[in-house]
Amino acid sequence: MTGIEREVVIVGAGPAGISAACVVAETGRSALLIDDNPSPGGQIWREQDRHGSDWQASHWLRRMHLYRVDVMSGATVIDGDPGRRAIVCETANSVSTIRYKKLILATGARELFLPFPGWTLPNVMGAGGLQALVKSGMPISGKRVVVAGSGPLLLAVGAYLKGQGARVLAIAEQASWSRLARFGLGLPKQPYKLAETWQLKRALFRVPYRAGAWVEAALGGTVLERVRLRVSHRYWEAPCDYLAVGYGLVPNIELAVSLGCQLSGGCVQVDSMQQTSVPDILCAGETTGIGGVELALMEGRIAGFSAIGDRLNAQWLFSDRERFRRFARRLQKAFTLREELRHLPSEETLVCRCEDVSYRRIAPMSGWRAAKLHTRCGMGPCQGRVCGPAAEFLFGWNCQSARPPVFPARIDSLIEHVDK
Ligand SMILES: Cc1cc2nc3c(=O)[nH]c(=O)nc-3n(C[C@H](O)[C@H](O)[C@H](O)COP(=O)(O)OP(=O)(O)OC[C@H]3O[C@@H](n4cnc5c(N)ncnc54)[C@H](O)[C@@H]3O)c2cc1C
């Protein structure tokens, strides 16, 4: 096991982690940015390092290179010990202990998947997941795609896939027109969001956008063949090659929880300086609440200033952060998930796809712990990352537990880690 030491270590190289690292590195302090992807950028700026077209991404990635932020890509933080101010990080062929004076967690979010009949068929994917595959080179040109679920990500994904030559048959948003209209009325107060929405709408010209619509079933033998949507009281069915479906985002809190950070409303709790309940551990971006790229950047910068003890510069950004948080709260209200989605799974629908556990077996359980003990739900490779949030939504359980290693790790990494 190798040992590394830095003043500030940042986990997660999305917008929040990159902006935090830049703030630290610009003052000449040593900053190490760790991320499990092959290159920095996180979810939204994936592959921007190689063929970037987003001005914001280019700006921050250039800044990161200019100030020589030390980046460790393809590295997963699997454990940590706040008492020793150390984290354990695994790469393809090594495991290292990294010591820090300050640790910033910017581990982002993942998509929320809700089970419905056929959701485990090949070619049914997460909306952001399909986008990520296409960004990584998967051909989509000429393929028929239905995008469904909830939230602004559906528009971004639909526009991106259409731009790559896909035939986007429909975008199905579960929120009702009335909720969307109320949300839309507030957009002029956020001119940059209005412009973004307008751009997406233009990119999606002639793609039907159905509000109050959701996937009832994905149909097919060994692979997806058709999708059935419910649109208010009617049904709409169409053959398609891919179904991209996501019901919003879930914060990646597992590492923070295993380090002892307190939660509030399912997100990592932070104070005004982005400080968590554990000394010397800060948190920024979607891990503290789903709010979009602007909020992630702002929180990352505040966490960076906070880590180097620059309170004054951090405070300058508080009002902007509050503006973005207000927008995030409106977004959350507009895209609240509807009751009908709780009743989509049939008795046979798998809820935990790692361990093949059906709805019928899980539903009678008294809670998440009982479900794990009696059915092995949440005990597979994803360790409840997919079925945990789904079970929270379906049954109202609290599924927020985490223990090291927070990601699947090699046996030799664990042995070395225990022996250290
Ligand atoms: C699949 C997906 C697609 C999205 N697409 C869009 C889009 O097209 N447009 C848009 O506006 N918004 C999109 N979003 C939302 C967008 O990602 C956020 O608004 C914002 O960019 C979040 O920034 P962040 O820095 O908080 O997190 P992220 O960008 O999620 O970055 C967090 C990073 O931390 C890494 N990480 C997590 N845990 C560990 C660990 N233990 N060890 C090492 N690395 C770790 C993750 O792999 C990731 O690279 C998407 C979100 C998701 C989940």
Query: pLDDT tens digits, residue range 266-317?
Result: 999 999 999 999 999 999 999 999 999 999 999 999 999 999 999 999 999 9
Question: Given a cut of 60, is residue 391 above it in pLDDT?
Answer: yes
The DSSP annotation for 122-161 comes to TTEE-HHHHHHHHHTT---TT-EEEEEESSTHHHHHHHHH
Q: Which two tokens stand for residue 365?
A: 């359980």
pLDDT at 49: 66
Q: What fold, for 113-247?
A: FAD/NAD(P)-binding domain (3.50.50)
393 and 337 in contact (C-beta within 8 Å)? yes
- Find out whether the beta carbon of 285 lies less than 6 Å from any atom of ligand 1: yes
Alpha helices in 310-410 (DSSP H): 311-316, 318-334, 359-362, 368-375, 387-395
What DSSP character marks residue 83?
G
Spatial neighbors of 308 by CB under 8 A, at least 6 apart, are 8, 23, 24, 27, 29, 102
The continuous run of DSSP H or E covering 302 comes out as helix 293-307
Return the percentage of the chain with pLDDT > 70, whole number: 97
Q: Which two tokens stand for residue 301?
A: 């910068």
Q: What fold, for 2-109+250-331?
A: FAD/NAD(P)-binding domain (3.50.50)
The continuous run of DSSP H or E covering 413 comes out as helix 411-419
β-pair type (86-90, 76-81)? antiparallel
- Find out whether the beta carbon of 117 lies less than 6 Å from any atom of ligand 1: no
pLDDT digit string, tens, across residues 92-122 = 989 999 999 999 999 999 999 999 999 999 9
Question: Given a cut of 90, is residue 187 above it in pLDDT?
Answer: no
Question: Given a cut of 80, is residue 340 above it in pLDDT?
Answer: yes
Closest residue CA from atom 1 of ligand 1: 128
One fold for 2-109+250-331 and 113-247: yes
Using the mean position of ligand 1's atoms as its centre, give its distance from the Cα of residue 14 in Å: 6
Number of residues that make up the chain: 420
Confidence of residue 418 (pLDDT cuts 50, 70, 90): low
Return the percentage of the chain with pLDDT > 90, whole number: 82
Using the mean position of ligand 1's atoms as its centre, give its distance from the Cα of residue 234 in Å: 35
pLDDT at 16: 98
- Count of H-run helices and E-run strands, the chain: 15, 21
The ligand 1 atom at the shortest distance from the C-alpha of residue 299 is 26
Using the mean position of ligand 1's atoms as its centre, give its distance from the Cα of residue 128 in Å: 10
Using the mean position of ligand 1's atoms as its centre, give its distance from the Cα of residue 261 in Å: 20
219 and 228 in contact (C-beta within 8 Å)? yes
158 and 207 in contact (C-beta within 8 Å)? yes
pLDDT digit string, tens, across residues 21-49 = 999 999 999 999 999 999 999 988 877 66
Using the mean position of ligand 1's atoms as its centre, give its distance from the Cα of residue 1 in Å: 29
pLDDT digit string, tens, across residues 205-248 = 899 999 999 999 999 999 999 999 999 889 999 999 999 999 99
Using the mean position of ligand 1's atoms as its centre, give its distance from the Cα of residue 304 in Å: 18
- Which residue ranges make up each domain of the chain? 2-109+250-331, 113-247, 345-395
The average confidence (pLDDT) of the chain is 93
Q: Which two tokens stand for residue 175?
A: 């929120």
CB atoms inside a 10 Å sphere around CB 224: 22
> How would you class 391 by CB atoms within 10 Å of its CB: exposed for 0-12, middle for 13-18, buried for 19 or more?
buried
Confidence of residue 2 (pLDDT cuts 50, 70, 90): low
- Which position has the token pair 């929320």? 112
pLDDT at 50: 64
Of 23, 34, 43, the one to substitute when testing ligand 1's pocket (max ligand atoms within 8 A of C-beta) is: 43
